[in-house]
Structure 1
Amino acid sequence: MEFLRRDFLKLGLTQAIAATVSVPTLAAGGQDDRTVDGLPFQSVLRDTPSILQGATDATRTQFSIQHHKDLKFNVVVRNAAGELWQPDKVEYLAQPYSPYQITRAYFSNLHLGEVFYLDLLGANDKVIERREFGTLDLNKPTLRYALCSCMDEGRHEPKIWQNLVSQIPDVVFFIGDSVYCDKGGGPYKDGDPRRLWLRFTEARRTLEIYYSKRLVPIIATWDDHDFATDDADTTSWEHTLASQMNFMAFFAQSEGHTEGFSQGPGVASALRAGQHQFLLMDDRSWRLDKNSTDRYAHWGKDQEEWALQMISSFEGTTFLMNGSQIFPKMVYKESMSKHPGQFNAFMSALKKIPRKVVFASGDVHFSEISRIEPAMTGYPTYEITSSAVHSKCFPGLEKISNHSRRMMCTTNPNYILIDSNHQAGRFTANIYSCSAQKKVNFSTQIVV
């Protein structure tokens, strides 16, 4: 599913597409103070272009570049030998009430295993910004990936992002609350969809990951805070389409440009890499009240059917990722299990599919690994919760609502790093909860 130009225009989002960009002048965008290793270190809003690499395969990739509208540049790719790649296409996304826009650039005919440089060229073809990146081998039996959620830029911690980049993951998954739309300033109050663009802009101008010298492919879905506000659903927020368009504008995950990646209903998406499949679910576009017992109260009907079809048609192991938790019934937090109509029916359907599923989630502001008993899915599996990279956390938070499935837990700011291997029908993963200063909060191995 690809959003059409008329959908953006209905929401006041202007879009233009060109084969190349030709803009000869450059308006300075501000200072970009860097640390010795080339990574910025300030927890402040920055006018240096904020760059994100998105869906990528062995020869193609796409980028989301946020910058001030006055900053004019061409975008190209080079390698160490000086060869030059022009973009296949460039898109511009902007809102009339914001001084910042998104430029999306798409490249192809790259090479696996080679170091490339994304260059933004200003006046006289001067390089005004350079980022290093590579392509993604979708056929590797072993993958390294990070799970990240809950990124309140008001509590931004640059060092944890620097630690993540230093781990050299193949891909990073944002599984919810990458932006807190109900926080921060601006002239628009809660309930006004124009606030969404401004809040996403502020997060993109702050988070260290968007200023890393070395880019890593990022695939994202959302939860309540980047959908609208705390615990928002379709009964309390009437601008679901506006939220979808806003979210998709800021990431670089257009369908059809790369192998392995596809979009699902709403902002859901899928990435297939060898015997690994990652489903990033949309837990807001059809979500009903937290007390609803409706059959499709959590994901809706079409998305559930899409997920079951993707799982049944894939021979390897599926990582099913959701913004809020799947199994625990926390006293003070949402979960799919609190929508028993869809939860029970979905688990019953999974039992009938001869495939393996591992679950991942965020939201709760602590990370944990839970052992899921065979009675739920027909085989022993796990739910891996990753939260928060930087948000409100305090010791003892996890004890407010303990549960018997929990194996290990931390309330330190962290992300989850996973090295997983799928061979001969056996899925093995080494899992680490990582914080800044190379601290490992817990680690374990799971086999499914």
Structure 2
Amino acid sequence: MSNITKNNMTRREFHLGAAATVAGATALTTGLMTGGTALAEEAGKPLQRILFGSCCHQNKPQPIWDPILKLEPELFIFLGDNIYGDSRDMGVLKAKYDKQRKNFAPLLKKTPAVAIWDDHDFGENDAGKEYPFRDQSKDLFFDFWDEPKDSPRRRDGDGIYGSWLYGPEEQRVQVILPDLRYMRDSLRTVTSREAYRERDLVGFGPYLPVKEEKTMLGEAQWQWLEEQLKVPAKLRIIGSSLQFLSSQPGWECWSNFPHERKRLIDLIEKHKAEGVIFISGDTHWAELSCQTEGAPYPLWDLTSSGLTETWPNVSPNVYRWNDKSFAGQNFGGIYIDWEQDDPMVVMEVRDNKGTRVLQHSILLSSLSFK
């Protein structure tokens, strides 16, 4: 996929799940299209190098693409805040996408990419379903990412969630991108300015856990997500625009909806969905989190943020691996060595010069019920 013509064809085909180009893939794709799952064109080739990132401001220098391109990723996952749109004027939002298109062009000419949004490309800081232009913003998102007009992701009255499959059956990687914006109910905040100042001293944000009747995904997406966890795959990468494992830092994260966080863990256990790794963005710092208690097997969440944005006041997190974080510009990576009998999965974060700042490796067998 090294030339522009082939890349454009491939991006369309793994949006559409065009299995006719892949020997033996038709049966796998049948029945998955209505759920928004697509099969990558080169299904016979195992996916080994996956890079990802989030929080990229269109008006700021982006030297980080040089080290990313040098690593020759086979897939890049954009985890949201792909622009800083923050407007109710769709003309303004489109102009910011147009500016960012030039910045992303060197990567997208060489590398297949999939994307989800977060609040700033959704349209408004920390917004959910109350944002009045979510449908217009959705159209702009799909147009920017060349989502085909007949794509199952262009569903009416619901979010932009999607899922993709890569590689042969015994080395299959599933990428699942949930939408945490379109159907999200309102957040709960601390009630006084004084309480906010006290929390800010230790890096806590203003948000508190909501009650169980509130939702982040919406029921239609929950049904879709449960179906995705039934799809056969060896490694499942759930790309969340918000941190999944962080322990209630007071900023936006799954812990603001603890019942939905638990629901996803319960679904992983219910369907014996092995090989799950979370990747996430949003925070403006990088870290690796791990939860072992209350989980079917060790759950990992590799956070990479941001491609341009940084935030020095890193929040507490009881799940932070080795208590290490990185507050500079960064991107994340997942590498899979399929040559071993028990494949090794390497999770890492690199800075804007390509220097590795965080790394941890696991065996794929550790993400199982055995």
TM-score, length basis structure 2:
0.75
How far apart are residue 270 of structure 1 and its match?
A: 1.0
Residue of structure 1 in register with 2:146 after alignment: 252
Residue of structure 1 in register with 2:187 after alignment: 290
5 Å-filtered alignment, 1:250-399, equals 250-254=144-148, 266-274=159-167, 275-291=172-188, 292-295=210-213, 297-356=215-274, 357-376=276-295, 378-394=296-312, 397-398=313-314
* Aligned CA distance change for structure 1 residues 212 and 320 (closer, same or farther; 3 Å): closer
- Determine if the alignment matches structure 1 residue 143 to structure 2 residue 48: yes
Between 1:172-181 and 1:313-322, the stretch displaced more is 313-322
- Determine if the alignment matches structure 1 residue 435 to structure 2 residue 356: no
- Determine if the alignment matches structure 1 residue 403 to structure 2 residue 313: no
Cα offsets for 1:381-424 (capped at 9, x unmatched): 20111111111333xx22x3232443332112110122124689
For residues 299 and 312 of structure 1, what CA distance do their matches in structure 2 show? Answer: 18
For residues 163 and 421 of structure 1, what CA distance do their matches in structure 2 show? Answer: 21
- Determine if the alignment matches structure 1 residue 196 to structure 2 residue 93: yes
Aligned partner of 2:79 among 175, 195, 198: 175
For residues 301 and 174 of structure 1, what CA distance do their matches in structure 2 show? Answer: 24
RMSD of Structure 2 on Structure 1 (CA): 3.3
Residue of structure 1 in register with 2:197 after alignment: none
For residues 331 and 54 of structure 1, what CA distance do their matches in structure 2 show? Answer: 43
For residues 144 and 65 of structure 2, what CA distance do their matches in structure 1 show? Answer: 19
* Aligned CA distance change for structure 1 residues 328 and 282 (closer, same or farther; 3 Å): same
Residues 366 and 388, structure 1, Cα contact 8 Å, conserved in 2: yes
* Aligned CA distance change for structure 1 residues 335 and 315 (closer, same or farther; 3 Å): same
- Whichever residue aligns with residue 413 of structure 1, its letter is Q
Residues 295 and 342, structure 1, Cα contact 8 Å, conserved in 2: no
Secondary structure of the residue that 2:59 maps to in structure 1?
A: helix
Residues 432 and 444, structure 1, Cα contact 8 Å, conserved in 2: yes
Residues 296 and 342, structure 1, Cα contact 8 Å, conserved in 2: no
Residue of structure 2 in register with 1:413 after alignment: 329
- Whichever residue aligns with residue 370 of structure 1, its letter is S
For residues 71 and 219 of structure 2, what CA distance do their matches in structure 1 show? Answer: 38
* Aligned CA distance change for structure 1 residues 52 and 172 (closer, same or farther; 3 Å): farther
Question: Whose strand proportion is higher, 1 or 2?
Answer: 1
* Aligned CA distance change for structure 1 residues 109 and 326 (closer, same or farther; 3 Å): closer
Residues 433 and 440, structure 1, Cα contact 8 Å, conserved in 2: yes
Cα offsets for 1:338-387 (capped at 9, x unmatched): 112322223222221112221111000111111121523x1112011111
How far apart are residue 315 of structure 1 and its match?
A: 3.7
Aligned partner of 1:238 among 107, 114, 132: 132
TM-score, length basis structure 1:
0.63
Secondary structure of the residue that 1:155 maps to in structure 2?
A: coil
Residues 285 and 310, structure 2, Cα contact 8 Å, conserved in 1: no
Residues 52 and 217, structure 1, Cα contact 8 Å, conserved in 2: no
For residues 202 and 245 of structure 1, what CA distance do their matches in structure 2 show? Answer: 17
- Whichever residue aligns with residue 286 of structure 1, its letter is M
Aligned length: 313
For residues 47 and 88 of structure 2, what CA distance do their matches in structure 1 show? Answer: 44
Task: Identify unmatched segments of 5+ residues in structure 1.
Answer: 1-50, 64-87, 89-106, 113-134, 183-189
Residues 173 and 219, structure 1, Cα contact 8 Å, conserved in 2: yes
Task: Identify unmatched segments of 5+ residues in structure 2.
Answer: 24-39, 189-209
Secondary structure of the residue that 1:153 maps to in structure 2?
A: coil
- Determine if the alignment matches structure 1 residue 219 to structure 2 residue 114: yes
Residue of structure 2 in register with 1:80 after alignment: none
Tell which structure's C-alpha radius of gyration is larger.
1
Secondary structure of the residue that 1:211 maps to in structure 2?
A: helix
Residues 148 and 174, structure 1, Cα contact 8 Å, conserved in 2: yes
For residues 55 and 295 of structure 1, what CA distance do their matches in structure 2 show? Answer: 44
Residues 55 and 252, structure 1, Cα contact 8 Å, conserved in 2: no
Cα offsets for 1:183-224 (capped at 9, x unmatched): xxxxxxx3333332122122223x2x3135952111100110
How far apart are residue 317 of structure 1 and its match?
A: 2.4
Residues 21 and 41, structure 2, Cα contact 8 Å, conserved in 1: no
* Aligned CA distance change for structure 1 residues 191 and 322 (closer, same or farther; 3 Å): same
How far apart are residue 52 of structure 1 and its match?
A: 8.8
Residues 316 and 422, structure 1, Cα contact 8 Å, conserved in 2: no
